[in-house]
A and B are shown apart, each in its own frame.
Chain A
Amino acid sequence: MNMKMKLFSYNQVDTPIHRLSGLTKLVCFLFLTFAVMFSYDIRVILAVMFFSLGVLRLSKIKYSQIRLMILYVLIFVITNAVISFFFSPEEGVKIYGTRHDIANLYGGHKLTLEQIFYQVTKFFKYFSVIPFGIIFLLTTNPSEFASSLNGIGVNYKAAFAVALTLRYFPDVQRDYHDISLAQQARGLDLSHKAKFTDRFKNALLIVIPLIFSALDRIELISNAMDLRGFAKSKTRTWYTFKALTGQDYAALAISALIFIATVLISIFVNHSRFYNPFI
């Protein structure tokens, strides 16, 4: 299998992060995400971001595995920043209640220090969450993920559907690759040389066979699951279930503390969700 196949999918490595139970990772992920989403205090956000980068390092995830994901996120965050600036360039002034103009922009709008500070804070907010998402996805065995979703009360059929998607993702990727090559041999041009409308039509020539082979797969897998009693009772147990260990409790405690600390800082230090350096 070439390296491409391993993109976005669970890699089995033995690190403290991998050893944590899926349930722990899910709950920690939620705690830390809520912490960062709640707070607009850049000091807190940067602290959490460094923490998340540390954990990312600890879990031995290679940059090459996540390059594409980072790129997409970057595009999304930047687009988001540009659009939110265009729609409300005065948001920072509204929040912080002061005005420090830096430059004049189109249509009488002014670039303010407050706006920059607000948007930088928001940028890091997104960026401190991403590593947690990556860590969670890449260090959690999909079935363990399903069992942890089920553990926090999600219906097991829905949870299993998630695991199954992840299980078949590499297969579909491989099908796509094979079909694409075979169609290219028939003369399909997927390069930038082709016109956009042609490329769209050409993509269909790959997607249609892909859908048909996926349908074959689905029929087979649903038969196999029926034959082995899937969905027979209201609950199920999980082979990949991991009992929580001391490490799990420690991880849970740390994330809970970070969450509580964030909330406390907002209430007692900043007296709001925003940290205001302008007053």
Chain B
Amino acid sequence: MNKQAIIEFQDFSFQYYSQAEPTLHDINLKIYPGEKILVVGPSGSGKSTLGHCLNGLIPFAYKGEISGSLKINGLETKTQDIFHLSKMVGTVLQDADGQFVGLTAGEDIAFALENDNVPHAEMRERVQKVAAMVDMQNWLASSPFELSGGQKQRTSLAGVMIDNVDILLFDEPLANLDPATGKTAIEIIDDIHKKSQKTIVIIEHRLEDVLHRDIDRVIVVNDGRIIADMNAHELVSSTILTENGIREPLYVTALKYAGVKVTSDMLPGHITTLKTEFSKEALNVWHNAIKADDRKNTNPSILKMENISFSYDGVRPILDDINFDLREGEMISIVGKNGAGKSTLSKLLCGFEKEDRGVIRYKGEDIKDKTIKERAEIIGVVMQNPNQMISKPMIYDEVALGLRLRNVSEDQIAARVEKVLKVCGLAPFKDWPISALSYGQKKRVTIASILVLDPKILILDEPTAGQDFRHYTEIMEFLVEINKLGVTVIMITHDMHLMLEYTPRAIVLAGGRKIADTAASVVLTDSQVIGKANLKETSLFNLAQMAGVGDGTHFVQGFIDYERRMKNR
């Protein structure tokens, strides 16, 4: 290419002052105007640091030692300040809610213009125009509480596009979004790329979801170095993904299970480009050979909701006539879009809110009169953000807290805490301060602090949110272990992989009603349920159709059974 690169890293290294080792080593990377680049890598690989270098948060907000050169539009970034960089690189951060500066969408979009002293009339006009580009023009007066996750993200996008930047940087755009909204987000980014020819850099670890649309190049980062720089087809047919802890697309995994050698000639980068003519037979043979896993859970009922209805204001029902019956030792997921009533359901179970109608039964007994504290000994709840639960500086004290508040004797506490720490793989850290732990370890501490009360049912809100494949697998395998010890596990989640791979049963909520309660493989292949609950069809189903395997649902279930058997081997 003879074009001038718009972003050029040359022997670039960066070390945070607070760290002993550099986070980025010898980065050499050129990105050309109009390219659409995906940067993938596991947590702690340095991919976010790379993004921070582009938008100027490094070294402006996060201080550290830079060596080598990074030029944007030919300008050395070290000599620029964050304000100049923000005119060239627009950043959409991952938490669309937290970065919502304004009180209304319109105000938030206008924020950069306000800071530029743009006159009021011109500002209103430009906000209108940009809002129309992301289809938010009718929501300008809405507050963040009235907007959905997707709308907030589109507001953020409009807020950076208003500056007419050359480069759009997306930092984990799919985190916090439900599957359908995430899919739409990728489509919006693609449309903007096609219309505006801006240079786009997406940082994300959910490879398959981003590959829903075209990507020019994928950069794989790990341990602070660039491991690969190639197109999607070459990448998914290599071993780089698995070696670096990044989840490969599910359909690629299925092809590999079927013994197909995935090569870049098959154009396997996107499910839509994949050529299946050479793999059809192998897939069919593999599929037919899988023995169905027909073990049924025949344990007695542990938790039952009968005709539960709930509303905050007495007008708009949040939950409407919910019924389900959970058996002891089950592991299920509750899915549905934001506001469908998932969190309210868990609040009712814990006694945080009281149902207007209906009965909740634990082993057949109505638990209406049990207090929050009493219910906690049967039903434990783990919040999404560990920082919202941790209140002690030391691990031991944090885990012991629930017992101490119940006036259990210190001897007993010591025994129970140690047992739980062992179960949770935290025994070596017993005397550590919590601040020294990674996010995933903190999550374990919060789970341990609930498990110590010995609940029979564990509810987890988005247990794997924001986790890369390795941590996701770690946390989920840990939950499987807990489940095997007899704890019934309920997970509230947006993660379709989690639902498919770990929970044989899924309850789907939409608009406060239960619209499905069946196997995950059935849910994720039922287009009607998918549509109503903002879910996303699994690529396994598409693969089944392309390969001419008759029953797609059956194929998906076969994949799950096969995978579970592989793991248990």
User: Which residues of A does B touch, CB under 8 Å?
Assistant: 1-3, 5, 10, 141-143, 163-164, 166-167, 170, 175, 178-179, 181-189, 204-206, 208-209, 212-213, 216-217, 220-233, 235-241
Contact = CB atoms under 8 A, between A and B. Distances in A.
Given A170-B145, A178-B383, A229-B116, A186 B124 contact: no
A186 B449 contact: yes
A197 B450 CA distance: 25
24 contacts: A2-B313, A3-B312, A3-B313, A167-B101, A170-B145, A181-B347, A181-B350, A185-B352, A186-B405, A186-B450, A187-B376, A187-B405, A187-B406, A209-B388, A209-B389, A223-B57, A226-B86, A227-B91, A229-B112, A232-B115, A236-B116, A237-B120, A239-B123, A239-B127
B390 A212 contact: yes
A243 to B, nearest CB: 8
A205 B380 CA distance: 18
A203 to B, nearest CB: 11
Nearest to B116: A229
A227 B57 contact: yes
A217 B114 CA distance: 22
Given A186-B405, A223-B57, A224-B93, A163 B391 contact: no
Given A186-B449, A223-B61, A224-B93, A233 B115 contact: yes
A118 B325 CA distance: 69
B117 A236 contact: yes
Contacts of A187: 373, 376, 401-402, 405-406, 453
B405 A229 contact: no
Closest A-B pairs by Cβ, 9 of them? A187-B405, A224-B99, A239-B110, A185-B376, A186-B402, A229-B115, A220-B98, A2-B312, A228-B112
Contacts of B179: none
A188 B86 contact: no
Contacts of B380: 185
Contacts of A230: 111, 115
Given A179-B389, A224-B101, A188 B405 contact: yes
B98 A221 contact: yes
A8 B557 CA distance: 52
B385 interface: yes
A170 B388 CA distance: 16
B107 interface: yes
Contact of A1 (B145, B347, B372, B401): B145
Contacts of A186: 376, 401-402, 405, 449-450, 453
B488 interface: no
Nearest to A167: B103
A237 B118 contact: yes
Nearest to A179: B388
A221 B387 contact: no
Contacts of B83: 229, 232
Interface string B526-569: 00000000000000000000000000000000000000000000
B159 to A, nearest CB: 7
A239 B102 contact: yes
Contacts of B56: 227
B35 interface: no
Contact of A228 (B106, B159, B381, B388): B159
Contacts of B117: 233, 235-237
A276 B37 CA distance: 81
Interface in B47-106: 55-57, 60-61, 82-83, 86-87, 91, 93, 95, 98-99, 101-103, 106
Contacts of A220: 93, 95, 98-99
A228 B111 contact: yes
Given A185-B380, A239-B127, A221 B373 contact: no
B502 to A, nearest CB: 24
A181 B388 CA distance: 11
B428 interface: no
A220 B381 CA distance: 26
Contact of A231 (B55, B115, B372, B375): B115
A116 B447 CA distance: 62
Given A223-B57, A224-B98, A213 B372 contact: no
Contacts of B112: 228-229
B512 to A, nearest CB: 15
Contacts of A238: 114, 120
Contact of B124 (A10, A182, A205, A239): A239
Given A2-B312, A237-B123, A182 B389 contact: yes
B160 interface: yes
A143 B114 CA distance: 12
B114 A209 contact: no
B34 to A, nearest CB: 22
Contact of A229 (B86, B98, B107, B119): B86
Given A143-B103, A182-B383, A237 B114 contact: yes
B167 interface: no
A223 B171 CA distance: 13
Contacts of A141: 103
B82 A226 contact: yes
Nearest to B384: A178
Nearest to A181: B352
Contact of A185 (B87, B93, B312, B373): B373
A181 B352 CA distance: 6
A6 B382 CA distance: 27
B2 to A, nearest CB: 32
Nearest to A215: B387
Contact of A213 (B99, B123, B381, B388): B388
Contacts of A182: 381, 383, 388-389
Contacts of B390: 208-209, 212
Contacts of B492: none
Contacts of A5: 145
A204 B373 CA distance: 18
Interface string B148-188: 00000000000110010000000000000000000000000
A228 B86 contact: yes
B113 interface: yes
A237 B103 contact: no
A272 to B, nearest CB: 46
Interface string B363-396: 0000000001101100011010101111110000
B86, B113, B312, B391 pick with most chain A CB within 10 angstroms: B391
Nearest to A238: B114
A237 B352 contact: no
B101 A164 contact: yes
A228 B101 CA distance: 10
Given A185-B373, A239-B127, A226 B61 contact: yes
Nearest to B118: A237
Given A185-B375, A226-B82, A227-B91, 9 more contacts: A204-B391, A208-B391, A223-B99, A228-B163, A230-B111, A233-B117, A236-B115, A237-B117, A239-B120
A226 to B, nearest CB: 5
Contacts of B145: 1, 5, 170
